[in-house]
Every structure is written in structure tokens, then in C-alpha cells.
Structure 1
Amino acid sequence: MTNEKYPYEIKAVKMEVEGTAHKFPVIVRIGPKGYVFPENFKHSAADIYNMEVRPSDVFVASFPRSGTTWTQDMVWLIASNLDYERALKVPLTERYAFLEFFSSFNDEMKMKLLDANKDDEAKLKEVKLLLKPATEILETTPSPRFIKTHLPLSLMPRKALEAKVVYVARDPRDAIVSLHHLVNSMKFMSMDEDFKAFWKSVLNNFQPWTPYFDHVKEAWEMRHHPNMLFLFYEDMRKDLPSVVRRVSDFLGKKYNEEEIARLCDHLSFDNFKKNPSVNYDLIKEIGLMYADKDFVRKGKSGGWRDYFDEEMIAEADKWIEENLRDTDLRFPSMQ
């Protein structure tokens, strides 16, 4: 389906026909690159694409599990004059609108969530907020608005680059391992397939937000745009102060060395993992995520080697080589 409000074709695909390692019975493929989303996304795609963008908006975008949460907290603090008090008090989920997350839930999931929280007024309110279209929430959000998305640039609001966009990319092998852990921590997405089956489903572009390389390359191609900042997760791990300075410059902020050192300490992995404001505790409380799982996991680079056998390493090498052949994109971990 296409219409005058949306420039891309949306095709529905029944997954029991193609077979894959996730729980969405129907997915949609969007546009010439065939980006994958849960079926419900087709109802919100045009609203997101045509959303009004304010020049003061700040988007943090990525393929899932590329260091998004870490980048979000860094960007918010830099843009908000290092307001640690508010950052620790107000959860990241309230400081950022997650642009497409509400469309991940089908009617059955929505009913289960609402029913599970019906006896707790506070939790029920949070569930209803989670299920409300982000475009509606953003209409009444005061500026500056902070927006998280895993949409590729072409499916983001068409005027997104009239605002600021920070895109973070990560070695796909690490991102896919982390995404597998996340999927299995979510009650409505967890599955029995092992990592190898999940890997194949990403390789074959059946997982939501794939194809991975098209996603990253769209942002990479716009990296010289004055309103786009392209970051690598591995650079953040290796030299966070340098990245903090780049983000500060991009957002028109100036901080001294002492302030940068304090921010890097706040964002250090040990402190970040213990920070309830960024650990999505709310998602556990309302029953979306298993209580014994961690949203922020190990955060290390190169951890994929613990999960890939020789066959998968060969597949990954070929996949990466083929997709980087036509571009000067190079990941720090691959140089």
C-alpha cells in the first residue's frame, strides 16, 4: 500500500510462510530496501514521516543495541546543561519519546498489558502512555524535545535534518548478539531459538529494523550534513571524553575539562549499569520484561566472539565485505 501522504510501498508478509526467529506472525516490508517492522507499523508510518519537526528537536537514532541508551543519556545531559539531578530523577523513557515503539504492540499484546496492570493505577497510566502514539505525545511536549528512534533516516520524519540528529553505529556482530539478549528478555518477543537461528534471521533480513547495513549507510551518507553527527559505539568505549567534546560542539555547548571528566564518570559503564534512570525498571514493573534480565548488559566490544562458531564467522566476514564494498564506511573494530 502507498498513498499521497507516504512515499514508500508497504508490503505485508506472513512469517509462517517465510519462517523466522521471532514472534510476529505478520511483518511489513517498507520501500525499495524492504525495511522490516511489525505489522502495526503500517498504521503509523505516514504520521511519523509527516510529523512536524521543530528546529530545537534532538533525535538519537540507531539500529537497535548500538549504544543507543548510553548515547541518549550523554546527549540529554550535554544539551540540558549537565542537569544530573533531573537526569537521575526522571527516567530516560520520560526524557525521550520513542518514536515507533508503540507500533510494536498488536491488539492481543495491548489487552494483556492493560489487563496485567489494571489493579495498579500508576502502572496502568504508564502502560497507556506506552501504547499512545509518540507523534501525539510530542505535539504537546515543550521544546527542546528529545526523540529516540531505531528508524532508518529515510523512514524518520522527512524534515528530521532540519533539527539535530545524532546517529550511533556499532559493529553489527556485537549489536546482533545484544539484540538477541534483548529479544529474549522481553516477554512478548522471547523465543526458543538459539543464537544461530537468530543470526540467520538477521542475515536474511527478517528481524524488525533490518536490513542492518542499509540502515547504517543511510546515516553514513549524510554524515557531512551540518545537522547530522555520526558516532561509533567503539569510539565511545575507547575515548569517551573526545566523543563528549564532539557532541558538545555539535549541540553548541561548551564545557571545561572538569565538567567533561564528571560527565564521563557519570557515563562510565559501572555507574551507568547501576543507574535506575536508564535501566528501564519501569518495563519490568509493568510486565514487559523479565525481572531477572538486565537492559544494560556488558557493553563491551568484541563480545560476539563468544557466540559465533566458524561457520557464522565466515558468513559474517562475507556479509560485511559485500556490504562495505560500495562505501567508505569502516567500523573502528574492523580496522
Structure 2
Amino acid sequence: MPFNNVSSLPSIVSYGPWGAHNKDFWKIRHQRDILYLFYEDMLEDPKREIRKVMKYVGKDLPEDVVEKIYKRTTFKAMKDNPMTNYSNIPSSVMDQTISPFMRKGTCGDWKSHLTVAQNELFDEYYKKEMSDTDLTFRF
């Protein structure tokens, strides 16, 4: 989809505008006890992020359980699992022949699907959209 200007970038997710959705939860994360996890961090050190979730829910699990969680939550394991890859959802709801729910599991691959001009427009949109928050994403 070509983008003519920043305002034409698709910014709506099923929960409302993407920026507002993320920034609103970021603002109240301490008052409402919200745990933020970032995909890049999960790829960088999955067991560290699993331990963050354990701490958040007040659990102290043995290392062998952490290892099992790690193995069952790798991208490959989840992509192969119908319970997590949405392959059981009817194609009338999610047509995975157009785009599978789980593609590669790599960070930043979305940029390889945009033209240089579209990437520049997104960068401009992101800078404007996130200018009033300290929430940052790694690309």
C-alpha cells in the first residue's frame, strides 16, 4: 500500500490507534501493575524474560521448569503448534494463505516489505507519534 503522507499510514489496531494504545498502557503501567515485555528482549534473552513473568506473577520455579517453558515458547515450537499459530481458526476469520499469523520470528523484517519511501514515512510517523513519551522500541 503506498503512503502519500504520514497521516495516511495505517495506525489503527483492533484496540484503537496504535500509538495511543501503547502510550496509554505505558503511562499507567505502575498504577495498574502492567508488565511490559518487548519481542526484541525475548529474542535476546528468553529465559531472562521468562523470569520477569515469573516474578510478575509471584512464582519461583525450578530451572528445569524454566527450561521447559523456554523450549515450548520458542518461535519454532509455537509456529508448529496449532494451539498458538492460529491454524485452527477458520479462513473466513483469518486467511493464512494471504499471510500466516506467524511468519519468521525475526525483528525488523517488516521494513524489508516496505519501499525506501514508505520506510521514511514510517520513521517520520513513529517519531511524531512517540515524541511525547519515554516509551521506545528497538528496531
Q: Fold-level match, TM-score > 0.5? A: yes
TM-score interval for Structure 1 and Structure 2 normalised by the shorter chain: 0.7 to 0.9
Q: Residue in 2 aligned with 1:253?
A: 59
**Deviation for aligned residue 1:259:** 1.3
Between the aligned residues of both structures, percent identity stands at 30
Structure showing greater radius of gyration is 1
Secondary structure of the residue aligned to 2:36 is strand
Structure 2's unaligned 5+ residue stretches are none
Q: Residue in 1 aligned with 2:34?
A: 228
Task: Compute the TM-score of the two structures, normalised by the length of structure 2.
Answer: 0.82
RMSD: 2.6
Structure 1's unaligned 5+ residue stretches are 1-194
CA distance in 2, matches of 1:275, 1:303: 22
**Is 2:106 aligned against 1:290?**
no
CA contact (8 A) 1:244 1:260 kept: yes
The 5 Å alignment of 1:201-220 reads 203=9, 205=11, 208-220=14-26
Secondary structure of the residue aligned to 2:88 is helix
CA contact (8 A) 1:235 1:332 kept: no
**Is 2:115 aligned against 1:312?**
no
CA contact (8 A) 1:202 1:211 kept: no
Secondary structure of the residue aligned to 1:282 is coil
CA contact (8 A) 1:223 1:229 kept: yes
How many residues align structurally?
137
Q: Residue in 1 aligned with 2:137?
A: 331
CA distance in 1, matches of 2:51, 2:8: 34
Q: Residue in 2 aligned with 1:300?
A: 106
- Deviation sequence 1:201-231 (CA, Å, 0-9, x none): 8625466444211110001111223621111
CA distance in 2, matches of 1:234, 1:208: 22
CA contact (8 A) 1:236 1:243 kept: yes
> Match of 1:220, as an amino acid?
W
> Match of 1:289, as an amino acid?
M
Are the structure 2 counterparts of residues 323 and 262 from structure 1 closer, same or farther at C-alpha, using a change threshold of 3 Å? same
**Is 2:84 aligned against 1:278?**
yes
Moved segments of 4+, more than 6 Å: 199-202
Higher strand share: 1
**Deviation for aligned residue 1:294:** 2.7
